[in-house]
């Protein structure tokens, strides 16, 4: 899988043709709820491949059907996916297909439609989060306030190795997240034009949560 040079704000745009093809399917207005959910799961698996590129490996001795050999395995399998509720669940499912042994955390945030600021209503993280590589998942990086708040919450819990995966970002959100957490790399399938007056990504793909769960 190839990745373009980092965009403004440090985002690593995954330019693989399959990722871009699936993103177009997600953007289409006529994509059904079932189709949107399926394609989100597929694109998430591909993004996870890129976001886990730097996981540590260790060498172990195994037996093949023909002979023993030294072979690489993930070192300790210390990985945690943290879903920003509710839309983050759409990415989480695909990532767990790739790394089913990963631990899972959840942070519940909703956006105040007047201030566009996040309000936390739920947080449940593994007790050993400080010892894990953490990947935060949420389909849309819009204003960046929810992403910054979620990562701040993780740092309060002593997490230190954190990355962020989304399907679509915008320059405003990337700037907000980078200003708050310059140490956190961002992986995305696209950086769109920007936000409208209501804080929605344009051209975007609509409300990811509503399209995942058929609530609109």
111 annotated to a ligand binding site: yes
Catalytic residues: 111, 115, 207, 210
86 annotated to a ligand binding site: yes
141 annotated to a ligand binding site: yes
CB 69 within 8 A of CB 62: yes
201 annotated to a ligand binding site: yes
Is the preceding omega at residue 135 within 30 degrees of 0, hence cis?
A: no
206 annotated to a ligand binding site: yes
Which parts of the chain are beta strand (E)? 11-13, 57-63, 68-74, 79-85, 103-111, 118-124, 133-137, 140-141, 161-165, 168-169, 186-188, 190-191, 194-195, 201-202
40 annotated to a ligand binding site: no
65 annotated to a ligand binding site: no
- Annotated binding-site members for uracil: 201, 206-208
- Annotated binding-site members: 86, 111, 138-146, 201, 206-208
- Annotated binding-site members for 5-phospho-alpha-D-ribose 1-diphosphate: 86, 111, 138-146, 207
């Amino acid at each position: 899988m190839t990745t373009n040079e980092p965009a403004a704000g440090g985002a690593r745009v995954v330019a693989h043709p399959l990722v871009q093809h699936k993103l177009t399917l997600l953007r289409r207005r006529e994509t059904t709820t079932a189709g949107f959910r399926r394609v989100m799961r597929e694109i998430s698996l591909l993004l996870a491949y890129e976001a886990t590129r730097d996981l540590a490996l260790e060498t172990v001795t195994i037996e093949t059907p023909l002979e023993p050999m030294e072979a690489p395995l993930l070192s300790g399998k210390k990985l945690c996916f943290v879903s920003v509720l509710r839309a983050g669940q759409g990415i989480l499912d695909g990532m767990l297909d790739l790394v089913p042994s990963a631990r899972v955390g959840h942070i519940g945030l909703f956006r105040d439609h007047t201030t566009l600021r996040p309000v936390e209503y739920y947080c449940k993280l593994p007790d050993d989060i400080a010892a894990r590589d953490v990947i935060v998942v949420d389909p849309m990086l819009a204003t960046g306030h929810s992403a910054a708040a979620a990562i701040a919450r993780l740092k309060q819990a002593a997490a230190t190795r954190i990355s962020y995966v989304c399907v679509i970002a915008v320059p405003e959100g990337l700037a907000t997240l980078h200003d708050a957490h310059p140490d956190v790399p961002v992986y995305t399938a696209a950086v769109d034009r920007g936000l409208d007056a209501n804080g929605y990504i344009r051209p975007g793909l609509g409300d990811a949560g509503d399209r995942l769960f058929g609530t609109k």
